[in-house]
Structure 1
Amino acid sequence: MIQQRPSFYSIIVLLCAVSFHGCGSKEGGSNTDLPIPEAEPLHIENALSDQEGQQGSGVKEFDGIQFHVPVGWKQVALTPAQQGMISASFQIPQAGDDVKLTLSSVGGGIDANLQRWKGQFQLPPGEAPLQETIRVDHVDAIWLDLRGTFDSGPAINSSVASGMRMIGVAIPRSPRDFYLKLTGPREQLLKAEKEFREFAKSARFVQ
């Protein structure tokens, strides 16, 4: 019996060693899964890039009107003050950081809103508002060009700035007319004027 004890204990040690090795192999197997989570940030970045691409150029609809948004324009989130009043807001980085475009549906009539726009500008001596008619999807729309000192009025984040320019387009619609309002420094707005005119004339009413 004394000679058999080492063999008995040897078997127990061997079994423990095998069990320990098996547990270690499971832990090693879990380590091989570590690279999988590392790939997730790349997937998220790609998704963000796709969203940014969708937010840029292409056909977009606002209040029942489709527009072809030029390449490079950036649609930005509405501020709390704009929500409920503004349909969409854009920045035009290639023209300048201070160039902004808003789209909205407003009641009250086109004449009253055009007068309100004119009241926001103090024109230099010898200058007058430039107004013309443009065709937008077989409808006559008003193009109004104002230059001078801009006073946004008694609104939230109101401001007064000289050397400004605003190009507004009023499109007759029912029950509320649709307005495009491009504002910014005069020299910067000049860079966006041609593209903005094409944007306005690209409007198509959704049936």
Structure 2
Amino acid sequence: MKCISPICLVLILLTAVPAMAEDKTEGDKKQAEQISFGDGHLEMTKPEGWKSVKPRVGIIDVEMEVPAAKGDGTEGRVTLMGAGGSIEANIDRWKGQFVKMTKDAEVKEETIAEQKVHLVELVGDFKDQRGPFAPAEVKEGYTMLAAIITTEKLGNYFLKFYGPTATIDQNKEKFNAMVKSLKVK
């Protein structure tokens, strides 16, 4: 049996380390997938681990599933769509999707990528209606995070993330990072 000389072993290791580093870089590129909307004029970075899925209804531009936190039986749902109506009317409609609020609604305004963004957090028992004609099912202990992106030229875009509170809490930083990654092209 032939032995590998120490010099050959060192050369093999020296070529393996850069190759492994390239694999890691490739993985990082996959984590930075961009979500494009507003006819390609707006984009955000999709968080790692969030899965793009076919929107359940045609008015939704982008939909994602977020893995359930340990102990939660339901995944989080993220939707992004352009729509009309005032900021207040949409927030009131979202509040109406809760049978009971267990915490006061939090609403604040920020400027991100030179666009006004209204950030909303609602907590309580949620009427989950999976389609326009589907019956609503009340889900206790839900949270909704939302961002309303207002643009002068492209209209308003509504990003909603809702699901069991533990799942939302576990992913709140990822949601906020996605919103803050907003770019106008």
TM-score scaled to structure 2, two decimals? 0.72
Moved more, 91-100 or 139-148: 91-100
Amino acid at match of 1:168: A
Q: Give the alignment of 1:1-207 within 5 angstroms.
A: 57-63=32-38, 64-79=41-56, 82-83=57-58, 85-93=59-67, 95=69, 97-121=74-98, 122-124=100-102, 127-152=103-128, 155-157=132-134, 158-173=136-151, 174-206=153-185
Please list every run of 5 or more consecutive structure 1 residues that lacks an aligned counterpart in the other structure: 1-53
| TM superposition shift of 1:103 | 0.3
Please list every run of 5 or more consecutive structure 2 residues that lacks an aligned counterpart in the other structure: 1-28
Identity of aligned residues (%): 24
Once residues 135 and 194 of structure 1 are traced to their aligned partners in structure 2, the CA distance between those partners, rounded to angstroms, is: 18
Q: What RMSD in Å do the two structures reach over aligned CA positions?
A: 2.3
Give the direction of change, closer, same or farther, for the CA distance of 1:164–1:114 in structure 2 (3 Å limit). same
| TM superposition shift of 1:159 | 2.3
Once residues 159 and 205 of structure 1 are traced to their aligned partners in structure 2, the CA distance between those partners, rounded to angstroms, is: 37
Give the direction of change, closer, same or farther, for the CA distance of 1:56–1:155 in structure 2 (3 Å limit). farther
Give the direction of change, closer, same or farther, for the CA distance of 1:175–1:203 in structure 2 (3 Å limit). closer
Larger Rg: 1
TM-score scaled to structure 1, two decimals? 0.65
| TM superposition shift of 1:156 | 3.0
Q: Which one has the bigger helix percentage?
A: 1
| TM superposition shift of 1:164 | 0.6
